[in-house]
Amino acid sequence: MDTGKFYVTTPIYYVNDRPHIGHAYTTILADVLARFHRSLGDNTFFLTGTDEHGQKVEKAAAKNNMDPQVHCDETVVRFQELWKKLGITNDKFIRTTQDFHKKVVQTILQELYDRGEIYRAEYTGWYCVGDERFFTEKDLVDGKCPECGREVTAIQESNYFFKMGQYRDWLVDYIKTHPDFILPEFRANETLGFLRQELGDLCISRPKSRLAWGIELPFDKDYVCYVWFDALINYISGVGYLQDADNFAKWWPASCQLIGKDILTTHSVYWPTMLKAMGLPMPKTIFAHGWWLTGNTKMSKSLGNVVDPMAMIERAGVDAFRYFLLSEMTLGNDANFSEETFISRYNSDLANDLGNFVSRVNKLVLRATNGPVPAPGKLEPEDEELLATVRDAAEKMAASLSNMKLDSGIASVLGAVRAGNRYMEKCAPWVLAKEGKTERLHTVLYCSAELLRQVAVLLEPVMPEKMAQLGRILGYAQGELGAISDLAKKESDLAGRIMTETDPLFPRILVEEKACEAAPAPKKEKQAKKEEKPVNLITIDDFFKAELKTAKILAAEAVPEADKLLKLQIDVGGVPRQIVAGIAKSYTPESLIGRTIVIVANLQPARIRGIDSCGMLLAAKAGKELKLVTVDGEIASGASVG
């Protein structure tokens, strides 16, 4: 891919409270886009920061009996520390209280005022403190703010206005002739719907008598600048506008400006008309993503349903949190967050699919060569098919960047991982090892490890630390894995790399075993006088007290210091379980993955060698030979047996 330019921005976040999952999502999304474009060879600049003026900040400071600047200085640290924890690679963190930004804002205000783009007039309207915006009577919904539903206050005062209304026809035409300007497309239509009505001029001042915390208007010392007019300018002040002409020319216009859908109007109407008045080009794309919901309700501090990113990070790690946010939400649409959904996707995608495949390849290579990744022999059709799968995933990932469907791109890479697990089952390298088919064994192991190498490169922007760890497992030092742009250009240098033994890349998150708890204890039956029968006979009722079900083996590993025991992670009708089974003499952990077995599902849980076991698998034994009881053909896990 030819080297290009990519400049991505996030909204700047209010410092009136601590960051939540909405802030984390937008910033992680920007970081992933920036990392992908760097990996593709594009010159990249990533800007984020904080919005530190306005009434909400002033009120938050007053509530804590603090000077607003001191409040900002203390609160901004929460964002900066979280971004560091989340692995955010922004090139600049801008604060609107920085002197250079304030000077740029004041210079723009003075130039627009001198050209007659800003004028003074009396204003009567309704003001929402939460959104820091004025609304007309017809804008209100049931007498409240149309954006957030809060109470509004009637205000009559003299203010300064930007002649935004004169640009309405130009903006409508620009949106219609530039289909990538506002994405997704339905957000562009939403903006066009807003513009069907008369577009009024924008009040860009607040009297100091009502709000003192802001950038002072250069032409009237009794007023400060409207917080949104101030905040939007960060996108150009942050890359050198009116300070460094060369740097500004290098990065502006922005490639992608990420916003939440709740600030669409400010970015798709206010911002482009401001740029038009300044004589500056428009950003290539303004992309409005959806909300994270709890049930059908937007996460909101006032509702008390906001997810704390730090809590989820402590539970599963930074990279798992990043992966969930990017893979679960289709960009542009809303998505539901719940702890159950998070754990389910983590265990399914990361622990079972990717983590288990890494573990299998790692153990088999160490067993076969004691470390070096073997060179492949002649590739068979199934080998070519596997490597084609990951090449296809790379192409789909690149396409997902251009159409902003990252969840689809990530899914294609995980699809290649699942193909790797199927390939392993089909080729059965453990059997090849037993039969002494060394050349074929080495080819299968090489192809499996090569798939992992490419997966590590493709998923590095999403999970940088874990993919660096995967690189080390494969024998690569930090930074040696290469970039996405290298995958199609350079030959693989994997063969001969020394693999090292590793702990699970993504340890499973154990959850409360609901299936075990739900299994009722057998009811005591009244003893009835019956004719004495042989003790080895049971009734049909006795038989049905044992609940037999099919289960699929998701992961398997040896129990330390127990040569007969294996710990199995299984799926029983969508419910994860863990069981311990004495089958290690007859089956290797790698050979069990994907098998459908039969278990006693309502057996009382036991603790074996300090490990919880919830159920018992069935096996047939003749002498030293032991065989698992399985089913004939494919059937869903959780099916009843008997």
pLDDT at 534 over 60: no
pLDDT at 223 over 60: yes
User: Which residue type occupies 603?
Assistant: L
Between CA 109 and CA 120 the distance in angstroms is 13
Bridge partners of residue 569, in order along the sequence: 555, 578
pLDDT: which is higher, 575 or 582:
582
pLDDT at 273 over 50: yes
Q: Which regions of 261-307 does DSSP assign to beta strands (E)? A: 286-289, 292-294, 297-298
pLDDT at 533 over 50: no
Mean of the pLDDT values across residues 355-360? 95
pLDDT: which is higher, 70 or 16:
70
Mean of the pLDDT values across residues 315-326? 90
Mean of the pLDDT values across residues 15-24? 79
Domain ranges of the chain: 336-487, 514-523+530-641
pLDDT at 636 over 50: yes
Which pLDDT belongs to residue 341? 86
pLDDT at 262 over 60: yes
Which pLDDT belongs to residue 295? 57
pLDDT: which is higher, 598 or 46:
46
Which pLDDT belongs to residue 518? 40
Average pLDDT value for the chain: 88
pLDDT at 15 over 80: yes
Helices (H), 329-405: 339-345, 356-369, 381-402
pLDDT at 526 over 50: no
pLDDT digits (tens, 9 = 90+) for 381-427: 999 999 999 999 999 999 998 889 999 999 999 999 999 999 999 99
**DSSP string over 74-86:** HHHHHHHHHHHHT
Provide, rounded to the nearest whole percent, the portion of the chain with pLDDT above 90.
Answer: 60
pLDDT digits (tens, 9 = 90+) for 463-512: 999 999 999 999 999 989 999 999 988 899 999 999 998 899 999 888 65
Between CA 567 and CA 581 the distance in angstroms is 7
Angle between helix 464-473 and 438-459 (nearest 10): 160
Mean of the pLDDT values across residues 330-346? 84
Taken in order 245, 247, 251, 257, the sign of the CA dihedral is: negative
Which pLDDT belongs to residue 207? 94
Q: Which residue has the tokens 């998505």?
A: 335
Gyration radius of the chain's alpha carbons: 31
Mean pLDDT lowest among 218-222, 427-431, 544-548? 544-548
Mean of the pLDDT values across residues 193-222? 94
Do the two domains 336-487 and 514-523+530-641 of this chain adopt the same fold? no
CA count, 13 A, side-chain hemisphere, 398 = 17
Tokens encoding 591:
């050979």
CA distances from residue 435 to 424, 439, 440, 591 in whole angstroms, order as listed? 16, 11, 11, 15
Mean of the pLDDT values across residues 459-465? 97
- Which CATH code is given to the segment(s) 514-523+530-641? 2.40.50.140
pLDDT winner (highest mean) among 13-27, 86-100, 289-303, 570-584: 86-100
pLDDT: which is higher, 515 or 324:
324
Instruction: Tell me the whole-structure pTM to 2 decimals.
Output: 0.77
Long-range CB contact pairs, 381-388, < 8 A, 24+: 382/423, 382/426, 382/427, 383/443, 383/444, 383/447, 386/419, 386/420, 386/423, 386/447, 386/448, 386/451, 387/447, 387/450, 387/451
The yes or no reply on domain 336-487 and CATH 1.10.730.10 is yes
Provide, rounded to the nearest whole percent, the portion of the chain with pLDDT above 70.
Answer: 90
**DSSP string over 36-64:** HHHHTT-EEEEEEEEE--SHHHHHHHHHT
Report residue 575's pLDDT band, with 50, 70 and 90 as the boundaries.
confident
